[in-house]
Structure 1
Amino acid sequence: MPSKKSSSSASTRQNQSKCGCFSFRKLGFLAVILALLSSVVVYLEARLESFYIFTPDHLHDLSQRAVAAHGNDTRAVVKYIVGELNEKETSAHLNLDEEWVFNNAGGAMGAMYIIHASITEYLIIFGTAIGTEGHTGRHTADDYFHILQGTQLAYVPGEYEPEVYPQGSVHHLPRGQVKQYKMDGSCFALEYARGWIPPMLFFGYADTFSSTLDFPTLWATTRITGREMIGNLLKGKL
């Protein structure tokens, strides 16, 4: 008759074998999920252009016309821009309520009004009346900063002079690149990002947890961004 010790050892080996098989199945399942997600990302990446409803050239032209019409009356400039966009096919995807919230990211502080937010694009008015400076972030989207008022300065390592972007110009930060930037005094811009937007949110949230602890602003940003992204998804806009 087998001893209790032998039975216990056999049971332990069986349990270990079962755990090993279970862990292997889990790893296999995760590998399949990862492969499927990777395939989807690659597929969508090759077709990103088909998901965009805005173009940098049109937004640049629109910003210049708005500035030409209203000069340093930035409130009127913003109204001009949103008004024209609302007359086009993009109207169903716009947030027409000026819900301004603070934005702290990369050490810089300003405020933003989210005009559009979806998985592949966002369009906001960003700026400050007193100036700010910080890190642009290294993003998964191209960023176009159309200067509506004031001047933005930018710097990259190895240069000895700043890049200068005055009113009416556009600062293009290609996906994956990074700079130091400064909005010297009062400066507002129409900021357009195209690419993968959700990963950019981590940069926008980081300062809340590391410095400001401004959770009401974090909630407002999350509520508005989530509402617009989900609303656009329901309308078929990725």
Structure 2
Amino acid sequence: MAPPSNTASSSPSRTGGGIGGWLKILAILIGIFYPISYVLEQNLDKFYVFELDHLKDVSTRAIAAHGNDTRAIVSYIVDELGAKVTTQRYINHDEEWVFNNAGGAMGAMYIIHASITEYLIIFGSAVGTEGHSGRHTADDYFHILTGEQWAYVPGQYEREVYPAGSVHWMRRGEVKQYRIPEYCFAMEYARGWIPPMLFFGYADTFTSTLDFYTLWRTSYVTGREMIANLLAGKI
């Protein structure tokens, strides 16, 4: 008579070993990358090429010079940034507008700069929109250029109102409901960890719009700028 098969008893052992192996790999990766991310987090400010005071100043002067002419305001800002930022490669002078659907809101954006630790875009809508801000891994500074933005936080009974010339600062991890009641265009600057923010920007494509062409264009321009800036030494 053939001896009893050990297949059933050995299978759990192999499965357990497989899970244990993956857990070891995960532990090793965490052990490697956590100290690196911690050190980088403590030194994030060393990687920034844009200055908060200058962004506020240039947007204020652009509005004063061109009023409600949004196109002229954007050109003024991009031209000055191109002259000020030491490495020209950091600035995308081509207005490659793409739709942006995120958190239920819809608008369009022009990516001026995208890197691992910063992005600078022009975002807005000429017909208004409303949605969820997202809870992000970067501080976000929304410089209103034309129009108006509203915001709401649970527990408040009054809306926050941000007119042209103001800055809506959302600290890392904060979340709000926001609305563009009629139209608004803003220079949006984020500093912190940018790649995790992309998931929020992509989610509506798969759950709502199914606009994969826009997803591809957004990924192409963002990836191109991030890689080019990395090659230029900008994290």
- Could you say whether these structures have the same fold, taking a TM-score greater than 0.5 normalized by the shorter chain as the test? yes
Between 1:167-176 and 1:25-34, the stretch displaced more is 25-34
Distance 1:15 1:205, change over 3 A: closer
Whichever residue aligns with residue 152 of structure 2, its letter is Y
Distance 1:118 1:160 in 2: 38
Where does residue 143 of structure 1 map in the other structure?
140
Q: Does the 8 Å CA contact 1:53/1:90 hold for their aligned counterparts?
A: no
The equivalent of 2:48 in structure 1 is: 52
User: Residues of 1 paired with 2:10 and 2:71: CA distance?
Assistant: 73
2:162 to 154, 160, 165: 165
1:215 counterpart = 2:217: no
Letter in 2 for 1:105: A
* SS of residue in 2 equivalent to 1:150: strand
Q: Of 2, 5, 12, which residue of structure 1 is paired with 2:3?
A: 5
The answer for the alignment partner of 2:99 in structure 1 is 102
Q: SS at the partner of 1:144?
A: strand
Closer/same/farther in 2, CA of residues 15 and 165 from structure 1, 3 Å limit: closer
Matches within 5 A, 1:39-188: 39-88=35-84, 89-188=86-185
Kept in 1, the 8 Å contact 2:147–2:163? The answer is yes
Q: Indicate conservation of the 8 Å contact 2:153/2:176, yes or no.
A: yes
Q: Which amino acid aligns with 2:2?
A: K
CA distance in 2, matches of 1:223, 1:26: 33
Paired with 1:202 and 1:114, the residues of 2 have a C-alpha distance of 17
Q: Which runs of 5+ in 2 are unaligned?
A: none
TM-superposed CA distance for 1:189, in Å, is: 0.2
Residues 12-21 or 171-180, more deviating:
12-21
Deviation at 1:104, TM superposition (A): 0.6
Match of 1:34 among 25, 30, 35: 30
Aligned to 1:191: 188
Offset, 1:117:
0.3
Equivalent residue letter for 1:43: V
Label 1:25 to 1:227 Cα distance change in 2 as closer, same or farther (>3 A).
same
Query: Are the equivalent residues in 1 in contact too, given 2:89–2:228 (CA < 8 A)?
Result: no
Seq. identity, %: 65
Deviations 1:197-223 (A, max 9, x none): 111001101111111111111110000
For these two proteins, the number of residue pairs brought into alignment is 234
Return the TM-score normalized by structure 1. 0.92
- Contiguous gaps of at least 5 residues in structure 1: none
